[in-house]
Each structure stands twice: as C-alpha cells, then as structure tokens.
Amino acid sequence: MDPIDIETVADPELRDPVLVEGLPGVGHVGKLAAEHLLEEFESTLVRRVYADEFPPQVDVDDDGVASLTHASFHAVDLSSPTPTDVDEDDDDDEADEADDENPEGDALADGGEEEAEADEAEDEEDDPGTVPTDRDLLVLTGNHQAGSNKGHYQLTEAFLDVAEGFGVEEAYALGGVPTGELIEEHNVLGAVSDGELTDSLAEAGVEFRGDEPAGGIVGVSGLLLGLGGRRGLDVACLMGETSGYLVDPKSAQAVLETLEQQLEFRVDFAALEKRAEEMEEVVSKIQQMQEGGGGGMGGDEELRYIG
C-alpha cells in the first residue's frame, strides 16, 4: 500500500459543496457533530482514505467483518433529512380513540379546518430539515488522526485534494476547545483563514478571542485553516467549549447550531440531546464519587480525557 491510498467509492455531482471536517479531538466534539449530520441526512460514501500514518489496526463491524482503519468522505444532501422513526399505526389508533371520545368533533370540523391547516403549515416550518437549500456537504470523519507531524501535513493535503476534486471552495473544521472544568454554557470560538469571514460568524454568536485557544489549533482542523487558506479556500474552524474530560454532545450541538445559521439548513437534535442526558448522568456519578472520596477520583486533577 502507498503511504496514502485514496479509494473512489462513488462520484456524484455535488451542488456548491461545503467541506465539513469532524475527526477525533477534544471531547470528540467535531466527530460527534459530523456523525450526527450523517445520521440525520441522506448521505453517500464517496471516498475512503487509507494511510500508514493511521494506527496499525482494523475496525470490526457488528457482523464481525474487519476493515482497515481509514478516514471517510460522505456526500450529504441537506434537502433530504432522514425520516424520524415514528409508529404511524400508534398515531392512527390514538386519533381514532380521540374521535370516539369526541362525537361532536365532526360538527366542529368545518369550522376548525382552516385552523388545522394553519397549524400544519406552522409545524412544517418548525420541522428540522425543511428549510430548502441548494448546497451539499462533503463530510470528512473517521476514528483516527495521523501519528506524526509530517503525517498530519500529508493527510491534510490529501483531504484538500479530494475536496477540491468535488469543487469545494468553502470549508468548516469542527472541534472542541478545553476549559479544564465542567461547564453549563458551551460557547463557540472561531478562527478563520481570512479576516473577511469573521463578520457573519460573529453575527451567529461565534466568539473570536485573541491568543485562544492557547497553543493554537493542532491536527487536521488547524492545518485545514493554514493549508486550505494557502490554496485560496475560505476556511473557518468552529470550536465548542468543553471540559476536555468527557465526550461532549452538548458542545457538538452548539457547534452544529452555528453551522446551521451559516449554511441555512435545519437538523433535528433529538439524538444528540439524548446522548447529552446520558453524559449528564455520567458526570453526576463522577461528582458523587469525588464528593464521597471514593472510586479513585479525588479531584479534577485526576480526571482524564475520555473518548
């Protein structure tokens, strides 16, 4: 195998595509956000990127089938959200029961028809994914980043080659910035390849803080800004504040909400919110262990990044 091997899986025509990168990092914020997009919208696997900079291992699926570890590009159709699982039969049964309990309902039907249509129109406006868009996403995700400085540069160049091959001129790197403590509010920090890109992001609530994050932005997210900017691409990095200790679905949602405003689409956050509730239970147990002095976790300094 070559140091970097790019496998072509599909070659769809994309509409004014935007690259969205979400590889593993602090709090798995970017990876969670990218995978949520793949779960909520119709997507097509278009490229697999293999590299000897990835760990020497295979990933095993639910059927026990192994595949060499790799990064993946998916084409995402923002106009086609994946249908939410709903038991229509149960809904119909509930409606029938309501009719049986309200025999006068037919008499009021004519008078309430217009109101019902208005409510339906309002529901459609609130329905995630119904905002029309004429753009597609090219989502990059995977389970690993490169193992060396040189590998980071080489892989990022390869990622940019793939993106430009699909006609990408705009990119967003998604990630997390550690606060070192558990937080309730998840602000989104930003960095851009060109100062002219800050205005719209600031209007969306993105904060630009001098010299933050401390130490700069490392890995693919940082290099997309640097190398992508040198290629003339408009690149922004959206970083959700996170403790850095745990996988953080809330921070991922904050980042996606910003991306929603920038690209004018809608996405359902129910799955992320459920994961956030599960993580809150984990945090609560950790705090109880700390307060009780048990479990070998006596303070924040003993917490470690998980994920």
Question: Which is more confidently placed, 305 or 288?
Answer: 288
- What is the predicted pLDDT for the residue at 163? 98
- In this structure, whether the domain defined by 4-82+132-272 belongs to CATH 3.40.50.10900 is answered with yes
Q: CA angle at residue 237 from 152 to 239, to 5 degrees?
A: 105
- What is the predicted pLDDT for the residue at 105? 46
Cα(first)–Cα(last) distance of the chain, in Å? Answer: 29
Lowest pLDDT segment from 56-60, 80-84, 131-135, 301-305: 301-305
pLDDT tens digits for range 103-152: 454 544 454 555 555 555 454 444 444 455 789 999 999 999 999 999 99
Alpha helix segments (H runs only) across 143-292: 149-165, 198-203, 219-230, 249-263, 270-292
For the chain, what is the mean pLDDT?
A: 83
pLDDT tens digits for range 264-293: 999 999 999 998 888 877 777 776 776 776
Q: What is the mean pLDDT of residues 157-175?
A: 98
Residue from 172, 164, 244 nearest 22 by CA: 172
Instruction: Indicate whether 171 pLDDT > 50.
Output: yes
- What is the predicted pLDDT for the residue at 108? 42
Question: Which is more confidently placed, 160 or 300?
Answer: 160
pLDDT category at 174 given cuts 50, 70, 90 is very high
- What is the predicted pLDDT for the residue at 130? 46
Instruction: Indicate whether 87 pLDDT > 80.
Output: no
Q: What is the mean pLDDT of residues 58-64?
A: 94
Alpha helix segments (H runs only) across 5-71: 29-40
Residue from 175, 159, 190 nearest 251 by CA: 175
Q: What is the mean pLDDT of residues 205-214?
A: 88
Instruction: Indicate whether 16 pLDDT > 60.
Output: yes
Lowest pLDDT segment from 32-36, 211-215, 221-225: 211-215
pLDDT tens digits for range 26-36: 999 999 999 99
Q: Is the whole-model pTM more than 0.75? A: yes
Residue from 237, 231, 261 nearest 163 by CA: 231
Percent of the residues in the chain that have a pLDDT greater than 70, as a whole number: 77
- What is the predicted pLDDT for the residue at 285? 78
- What is the predicted pLDDT for the residue at 24? 94
- What is the predicted pLDDT for the residue at 124? 47
- What is the predicted pLDDT for the residue at 293? 62
In angstroms, the CA 256 to CA 260 distance is: 6
- What is the predicted pLDDT for the residue at 82? 57
pLDDT tens digits for range 225-274: 999 999 999 999 999 999 888 899 999 999 999 999 999 999 999 999 99
Residues of the chain with CATH 3.40.50.10900: 4-82+132-272
Instruction: Give me the sheet containing 170-178, strands edge to edge.
Output: 4-8, 41-51, 71-81, 136-142, 18-22, 170-178, 234-242, 188-192
